[in-house]
């Protein structure tokens, strides 16, 4: 976290948000849920050390509708500036799979798995769980299977629009996740749909995971969001709105 703060200052960023993963679907070796007390301690150490940088707290809740008790405990542990909701995992034929594992599954019906991912995302949005921002909406496209026809938003338009309508109806914010400068999640087609269905605001996240990837892809994301009809606020840390 300290190195990320140093990198933020190098880049001239006014703020950094550490939206730490709160995941309980443990599908990766070495994976564990966030130590929320340790997380808050680390944030306070960074705030004391980097007084010229605004450091925001946050969590990315993974499948919060599957884990309401654990989610409530995290949200009650202390003040959080950012709360994201995300889907990483689905249940497919009795197996718990992260979308990053889809291409490792022999014989998988990839489009079916992606539709199940979107179905689960809609269930999360409609569940009433307390998160403000919908994170990396089309996460599976990062892991698209070689040899398949390229990912096209149009192929999943009905599923994506249903999610966007539900999210807009509950006043949520759509994250534009730059995947460390590799892939925009979502791209301009979905951001335009978001505006069409009444979505009011977007925000950026680089999903950095390491200091040298902080804010990667933000310039491209800014151009895309502006082209989709959203405008910046005077406060550089505020949401972009329609």
Structure tokens at 104: 């490792």
C-alpha–C-alpha distance, residues 152 and 191, integer Å: 14
The residue assigned the tokens 């966030």 is 34
Half-sphere exposure of 187 (CA within 13 A, CB side): 10
Find out whether 207 and 178 touch, Cβ atoms under 8 Å: yes
Q: Got the DSSP string for 19-84? A: EEEE-----STT-----HHHHHHHHHHHHHH-TTSEEEEEEEEESTTT-HHHHHHHHHSS--SEEE
What residue numbers bound the domain in which 104 lies? 2-241
pLDDT tens-digit map of 72-128: 999 999 999 999 999 999 999 999 999 999 988 888 999 999 999 999 999 999 999
Structure tokens at 58: 């946050």
Backbone Cα Rg of the chain: 18
Domain count, the chain: 1
Give the list of residues 6+ apart from residue 55 with CB closer than 8 angstroms, or none.
5, 15, 16, 17, 18, 43, 46, 47
pLDDT tens-digit map of 203-222: 999 999 999 999 999 999 99
Q: What is the pTM of this model?
A: 0.96
C-alpha–C-alpha distance, residues 102 and 145, integer Å: 8
Q: Work out the average pLDDT over 5-28.
A: 96
The domain spanning residue 108 has which CATH number?
A: 3.20.20.140
Asked if omega into 159 is within 30° of 0 (cis), the reply is: no
> What's the CA dihedral at 173, 5, 99, 95 to 10 degrees?
-110
User: DSSP code of 152?
Assistant: -
Q: Work out the average pLDDT over 219-227.
A: 97
Mean pLDDT of the chain: 96
The residue assigned the tokens 């892991």 is 143
Give the list of residues 6+ apart from residue 225 with CB closer than 8 angstroms, or none.
176, 191, 202, 204, 240
Beta strands in 105-181 (DSSP E): 133-134, 173-177
pLDDT tens-digit map of 18-65: 999 999 998 998 888 899 999 999 999 999 999 999 999 999 999 999
């Amino acid at each position: 976290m300290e190195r990320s703060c140093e990198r933020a200052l190098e880049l001239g960023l006014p703020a950094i948000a550490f939206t730490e993963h709160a995941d309980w679907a443990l599908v990766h070796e070495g994976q564990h849920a966030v130590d929320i007390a340790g997380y808050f301690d680390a944030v306070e150490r960074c705030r004391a050390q980097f007084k010229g940088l605004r450091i925001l707290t946050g969590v990315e809740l993974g499948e919060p509708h599957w884990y309401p008790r654990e989610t409530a405990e995290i949200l009650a542990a202390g003040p959080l500036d950012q709360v994201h909701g995300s889907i990483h995992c689905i249940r497919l034929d009795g197996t718990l799979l992260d979308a990053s594992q889809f291409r490792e599954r022999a014989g998988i019906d990839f489009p079916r798995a992606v539709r199940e991912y979107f179905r689960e995302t809609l269930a999360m949005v409609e569940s009433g769980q307390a998160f403000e921002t919908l994170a990396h909406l089309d996460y599976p496209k990062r892991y698209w299977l070689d040899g398949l026809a390229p990912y096209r938003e149009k192929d999943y338009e009905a599923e994506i629009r249903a999610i966007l309508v539900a999210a807009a109806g509950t006043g949520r914010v759509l994250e534009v996740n730059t995947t460390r400068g590799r892939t925009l999640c979502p791209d301009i087609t979905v951001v335009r749909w978001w505006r069409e269905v009444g979505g009011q605001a977007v925000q950026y996240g680089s999903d950095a995971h390491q200091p040298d990837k902080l804010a990667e892809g933000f310039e491209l994301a800014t151009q895309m969001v502006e082209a989709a009809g959203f405008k910046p606020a005077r406060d550089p840390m505020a949401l972009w709105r329609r």
